[in-house]
Amino acid sequence: MQKTSQESKEWRRFKEVSVPWAQYDAYRLSECKRVLDLKTLFTELDKPVQRREFKLSNMVVLLLLKVMFGISYRTIASATKDLQIYQALGMKRAPCYKTIQNTMNYLDERFFIMINRSLVPSKVKLAGVDSSGLKTHMKGAWIQIRFRRYVKKRDFKKVHIFVDLDSKKILYCIMTKGSAYDSPQLKKILKQCSWLKVDIILGDGGYDSKECFNGITKHGAKPGIPVRKNSSTLSRGSPSRRKAVIEQRRDFEKWKEKLKATMRCVVESIFSGTKRRFGEYLFSLKEKSRGVEMWLRTILWNVLIYPR
C-alpha cells in the first residue's frame, strides 16, 4: 500500500495579481469631484426660487452619486451626512433618504436631454444604434420564498441608444417595452437628433427595413446596415437600400471596410460598460422615474468615461 506524502508543499499562485489601490482610490475620488462639479449644470432647476430648504440642483448630484455607486436611498443619505458631502454642496444639513427619493417626482426627461446635448459633439463621423434590456427589479429567490412574492413574469425594459463611435458618448436614448421592435425606434431617435450631423450610421440586421434606410438618408447620412441574403435588388420605395443590396452582393467585405461596419461592436461594449458600472436593473418603480433614471445613467457615462 502506497503511503501519502506528509510533506507540506508551498502553494503558488498561478498568476500574480497586484491592484494599485492608491491609484484606484485617487481615480474614484476624481470621479466624485467631477460629479460634484456638475451642480452648475443643474442650477436652472432652482428657478423660479421656491420655498424649500434643499435645492433641486444639489439633490440631482446626490442622485447621480447613488446611481454611480449602486447604493440605496438610505445609504446615500448616510454617506451624505457621515462623509460631509452636504458641506461640499453648500447645504446647511444633510437631507434624509425620503427627501432624496421624492426628488425624482420633480425631474423631467426633457431637462436632462438638454443637458446631455451640451456634453456631446454636434458633428459625428461614425455613429451606431442598438438596444439592450434592463431588469425592473432585483428580488432574489430567498425574498420570493420568504415573503411569498413570486415573480410569474419577468418584466424588463428595452433601452435603445444612439452612440458616437469615436468618442464613445451616448448621443440619445429611448426606453420602451421589452417586446418593442428595434427598427421603429430609429425614426424617433433621428427625429429628436435633428440638430446632429452624422456621416455614417451603423446598425445590425434588426434595422433592415425601408423606413430605416429612408430615415438615415433623409438625415443626410449613409446607412451601414447589413441586408438579408434573399433581399431583392428592386428599389420598391427605397433607393438607398437597393444600393446597399447591390454593394453587399458584389463584395461584402469591401462594403464593410468602406463603411467601417466592424465598429458597430462598440455599442455592445458601451452596454456592457454601463451595466457593469451602474447595475443591470432599474431601482425606480414609476414609469416617469425610470425615464429620468435612464438619463441619469447616460449623463454619468458621458462624464465619467475616459477622455479619447
In this prediction, residues 6-27 reach a mean pLDDT of: 73
Structural domains of the chain, count: 2
145 and 281, same domain (yes or no): yes
Tell me if 245 sits within 8 A of 227, measured CB to CB: yes
188 and 281, same domain (yes or no): yes
Which of left, alpha, beta for 84 (phi over 0: left; psi -120 to 50: alpha)?
A: left
What torsion do the CA atoms of 10, 13, 19, 21 make, to the nearest 10 degrees? -30
In this prediction, residues 179-188 reach a mean pLDDT of: 91
Pairwise CA distance, residues 161 & 131, whole Å? 6
pLDDT > 90 fraction of the chain, expressed in percent and rounded: 69
100 and 128, same domain (yes or no): no
Tell me if 60 sits within 8 A of 107, measured CB to CB: yes
207 and 265, same domain (yes or no): yes
281 and 181, same domain (yes or no): yes
pLDDT at 46: 86
158 and 213, same domain (yes or no): yes
Q: Other CB atoms closer than 10 Å to residue 296's CB: what's the count?
A: 21
In this prediction, residues 68-89 reach a mean pLDDT of: 93
> 274 lies in a domain?
yes
- Segment among 81-95, 125-139, 141-155, 176-190 with least mean pLDDT: 141-155
Looking at 39, 72, 107, the residue that finishes a domain is 107
Half-sphere CA count of 49, side-chain side, radius 13 A: 0
Residue type, 15: K
In this prediction, residues 230-257 reach a mean pLDDT of: 92
All 3 cell numbers of residue 51? 420655498
pLDDT at 20: 84
All 3 cell numbers of residue 41? 449644470
Backbone angles phi, psi at 188, to 5 degrees: -65, -40
> 155 lies in a domain?
yes
pLDDT at 308: 45
272 and 180, same domain (yes or no): yes
142 and 240, same domain (yes or no): yes
In this prediction, residues 35-63 reach a mean pLDDT of: 87
> 1 lies in a domain?
no
158 and 90, same domain (yes or no): no
All 3 cell numbers of residue 50? 421656491
**Residues spanned by the domain of 83:** 21-107
pLDDT at 223: 95
3-state secondary structure the chain: CCCCCCCCCCCCCCCCCCCCHHHHHHHHHHHHHHHHHHHHHHHHHHCCCCCCCCCHHHHHHHHHHHHHHCCCHHHHHHHHHHCCHHHHCCCCCCCCHHHHHHHHHHCCHHHHHHHHHCCCCCEEEEEEEEEEEEECCCCCHHHHHHCCCCCCCCCEEEEEEEEECCCCEEEEEEEEECCCCCHHHHHHHHHHCCCCEEEEEECCHHHCCHHHHHHHHHCCCEEECCCCCCCCCCCCCCHHHHHHHHHHHHCHHHHHHHHCHHHHHHHHHHHHHHHHHHCCECCCCCHHHHHHHHHHHHHHHHHHCCCC
Looking at 83, 107, 131, the residue that finishes a domain is 107
In this prediction, residues 104-122 reach a mean pLDDT of: 93
pLDDT at 10: 66
> 48 lies in a domain?
yes
> 41 lies in a domain?
yes
> 285 lies in a domain?
yes
97 and 211, same domain (yes or no): no
Q: Which pLDDT band, with edges at 50, 70 and 90, does 178 fall under?
A: confident
Q: 287-304 vs 21-36: helix axis angle to the nearest 10?
A: 120
Q: Which pLDDT band, with edges at 50, 70 and 90, does 27 fall under?
A: confident
> 300 lies in a domain?
no
126 and 275, same domain (yes or no): yes
236 and 134, same domain (yes or no): yes
Q: Which pLDDT band, with edges at 50, 70 and 90, does 52 fall under?
A: confident
